[in-house]
Structure 1
């Protein structure tokens, strides 16, 4: 199944608009939606389940939403995971990356340090020092490129929650 997803995602990357066609979206959804071990409404990939919000909240409110569902804002641990997430998102969304604790030291919400980096060019820039932008201590993933941008945590946008599959033996990797 991993090969099938890569094939579909590869087509997505080659598409002129950078978005999956409706047929590709349905195909990928059939492969991933409702995996055993993931709650209803969540999408399984590898050993994680993902929830893609349909409403907008601040970074803190989005994190609270995830935590009440025994999840957290997502932490991107591989290029494959990033590619998968971008295939399902057509707008910028919150990810679980922040430098709130110490400016310039980006960490995932689980406390792990940032090792893979997909920052957009000249990012993070903490608003470029502009009063207009203020402190930019939270990260979003861009919809087409999958690159990251730092942005004010108070900004209202959609988000993605991530949690481990309950029974890893029942959720095959794609």
Structure 2
């Protein structure tokens, strides 16, 4: 019995090879198609997981950028924001300015902060230290820790100098440094 190309194989065996196929390769074409389909599904799942992780951590390109820790023109240092004025005013104006920006004249909390303020400032700016009676207090009401710093001069309001903290009359005009939590 002779068969033509379109005849079905009865009783088992392999279907006839397609023209241009290597023997055995085309008979397993369904295996190649299934493998390719499975790989495509795996790649799509991996991409979806990658995009979900990146967008939830704020790194995705479609999300908005994370907010800046400090307002424009403020410096960020150790979870605090600092504003260095470019104009000069008296101590009371400086304190009011900082307050109107939800901050205060800088209260120096430790030696690292003192060193940072001394590095970034110029022109001897006001800080949040003033005399109450005979003692210096910070604008938040905390008394000055004399182990942290000593104030030179006999004035009522304090400012930063290149070599430490000094005091002068509060009506003199200087720049100032505001501070707030980021």
TM-score range, shorter-chain basis? 0.5 to 0.7
- Equivalences for residues 60-139 of structure 1 within 5 A: 60-99=92-131, 101-102=132-133, 104-115=134-145, 116-119=147-150, 123-124=152-153, 126=154, 136-139=155-158
How many angstroms apart in 2 are the aligned matches of 1:39 and 1:58?
A: 24
Deviation per CA, 1:83-108: give whole Å up to 9, x if none. Answer: 11111112201010011x32x21110
Structure 1 residue ranges (4+ consecutive) displaced by more than 2 angstroms after TM superposition: 116-120
- Is there any run of 5+ residues in structure 1 with no aligned partner, and where? 1-34, 127-135, 166-174
* Structure 1 residue 58 displacement after superposition: 0.1
Deviation per CA, 1:111-156: give whole Å up to 9, x if none. Answer: 1111144225xx24x2xxxxxxxxx2100110x22x1111000000
What's the counterpart of residue 178 of structure 2? 161
What's the counterpart of residue 25 of structure 2? none
* Structure 1 residue 48 displacement after superposition: 1.1
- Is there any run of 5+ residues in structure 2 with no aligned partner, and where? 1-66
1:67 aligned counterpart, secondary structure: helix
Deviation per CA, 1:47-94: give whole Å up to 9, x if none. Answer: 210000000000000111100000010011111111111111122010
TM-score, length of structure 2 as denominator length: 0.60
TM-score, length of structure 1 as denominator length: 0.62
Which gives a bigger RCO, structure 1 or 2 (Cα 8 Å, sep 6+)?
A: 1
Aligned length: 115
Q: Which of 37, 58, 71 is the equivalent residue of 1:39?
A: 71
Largest Rg, 1 or 2:
2
